[in-house]
Structures are given as C-alpha cells and as structure tokens.
Amino acid sequence: MIERQLEAFRKRFGRYPGPNDPVFFDPERDTPVPLSDEEYEHAVLAAMSSAGLDPALIYAFKRTGSMVTDSNRHLLSKRQLQQWDDAISEYHRKVESGQVI
C-alpha cells in the first residue's frame, strides 16, 4: 500500500516524497498537501480493500485507528493491543451472527 502511494506521489509531483511530505496527499493540488482526516481514512480503507487485506483487519483498523502487525506490536500499549484484539473478536462475532458489517 505504501509503495503504491510513493509511486503515485512520484507520478504526480515528479519526485519521491521527502521527510516533510505527506504520503497520502491531495491529488488535486499542485503541491503536496495532506488529505483531511476523513479523506485519509477513506484512502487507507480503499487501499486495504484493494490489497486484499482480511476484512477483520480492516474492521479493527476502523474501530481502533491502528493497524497492528508483528513488526509494530511491541510499540503498542497493553490497552491498545486489547482494543485491537477486541475489535477482531467483535468482527468475528458479528459475522457468525449474520450481522451486516
């Protein structure tokens, strides 16, 4: 997902993003401007779906605002990890009960 964004940035602005450039940017602007929070979330969710991520992970991201991976798990608090695990469990409970997600 990030690699696609870096390539989209390069195509739009003729260079790769620097340390102060947004990876998720407004493609309508002539200079690299960050997306609004709403636009950012929409872009991330669309990219996750396009990448074929497990729907449970997408659901947990929407519920927690975080993406937990093996490589960042150690950086999160016990509370954040519990919220993530709870969101995953909630997703599976809803699917099993036939609720629309």
Task: For the chain, give the mean pLDDT.
Answer: 93
Q: Tell whether the model's pLDDT for residue 100 goes beyond 80.
A: no
Distance of CA 20 to the CA centre of its chain: 19
Q: How far apart are CA 24 and CA 13, in angstroms?
A: 13
Q: Per residue in 71-81, pLDDT tens?
A: 999 999 999 99
Instruction: Report the domain count for the chain.
Output: 2
On whether both 45 and 71 belong to a single domain, the answer is no
Q: Per residue in 23-68, pLDDT tens?
A: 889 999 999 999 998 998 888 899 899 989 999 999 999 999 999 9
On whether both 38 and 68 belong to a single domain, the answer is no
**Enclosing domain of residue 28:** 1-52
Q: How far apart are CA 12 and CA 74, in angstroms?
A: 35
Q: Tell whether the model's pLDDT for residue 1 goes beyond 80.
A: no
On whether both 44 and 59 belong to a single domain, the answer is no
Nearest to 24 by CA among 38, 44, 10: 44
On whether both 46 and 73 belong to a single domain, the answer is no
